[in-house]
Chain A
Amino acid sequence: MAKTRAWRKWSVLPGFGLSMGYTLFYLSLIVLIPLAGTFLKTATLTWAQFWAAVASPRALASYRLTFGASLVAAAVNGVFGLIVAWVLVRYKFPGRRLVDALVDLPFALPTAVAGIALTMIYSPKGWLGQYLEPLGIKVAFTPLGITLALIFIGLPFVVRTVQPVLEDLEPEVEQVAASLGANRWQTFWRVIVPTLLPALLTGFALSFARAVGEYGSVIFIAGNMPMKTEITPLLIIIKLEQYDYAGATALAVAMLVVSFAMLLVINLLQRWGTRRHVS
């Protein structure tokens, strides 16, 4: 035990220095230094410049749209994701394994492909758009279309976080609830939902976080009209194309702060979930 160092336990295995060194080197080079550079870049702006970029009416309108649509999409995914997870875990029906595999398609399908496909389906002459148009429902090129695209890309998160918890749920707990006189709805509401809650909220938060930053699947269906259907990531690209690097950086830093806050929330939710799970 002569080699014991204060910050790590001694081990007989070799290669800690090499693997740890390389990990830190690569992580710094690809992730940490570029991210820190972005934050440093905002330091070259004055506070007034930063504020003008972050709180311009056009930026505020884009936040309202981005966060509003993401929130609605995450909520829809929360409800339907729970139903999909429930059906996949509890019921048996033909093609269940295929359906289970299909849930991950939004992870695997490139966002640009999803974007043009959804636009084609919901444009006024599209497969579904042509039936919705006479009803006065416009989907493509409206906030509704943006929400649909965000539902698509956030779909797997809730299913994949709820599913394992639901699988591990002991049937005995429900039997006890039933034998104590609870009906099915009471058992679901008072026994199952509280157990699933951490996973459900984690899935909701993951879906929301993903939706806020999403770009590829949204820009085709959005229509991209300033103040109306312009999401924040697109506004960053527009600023870049106008060579307004300061404005783009300010918006990017605002989005990074939101991302990190969401990451913190998700970590706390997951910790809550595992603590529950263990106890």
Chain B
Amino acid sequence: MNPTDAKFREELVSLLPKLRRFARALTRHPADADDVVQLAVERALTRTEQWRPGSSLLNWMLGIVRNAWIDELRVRKRRSEVFVADDNAALQVGESPTDRDIELWSIQRGLECLPDEQRLAIALVLVEGLSYAEAAELMGVPIGTLTSRLARGRSTLESLLVEDHAPRRMPEVNR
């Protein structure tokens, strides 16, 4: 271990809440989100030399969380016969969920309807508050691609998550 190690770990600990928030926006179960963050932390520690001191450690870590999430998705798709359509999020045990839980569930459900790359764009810019340039760099795409994914994700979410349920026609649903 080198002398900067302790400081690096300390900074990593301070980033954990944000990494968890990001992973929550990507995955359905809080436990899955923490699995992804844990995997990312474990990976990050094996390649600390790849982080350029002076650059944003948060953005570097968000990128590793993103990769861990994508890998986890692939694993799950391979095991898809084991993970049958499971639409539930485990938040609490016991009484009826609160309005806040119900709101969170419907937002998570809406996010799940998005293609992975759009969900990622939404999570980085709207949940984590990254700039377009930062999000595009992290995803390895041009800014134009990022903004168009963001726009498509937004428009789908806006049509899915309407707050007032006025009668409406059947929407065109992405299958």
Partners in one complex: no
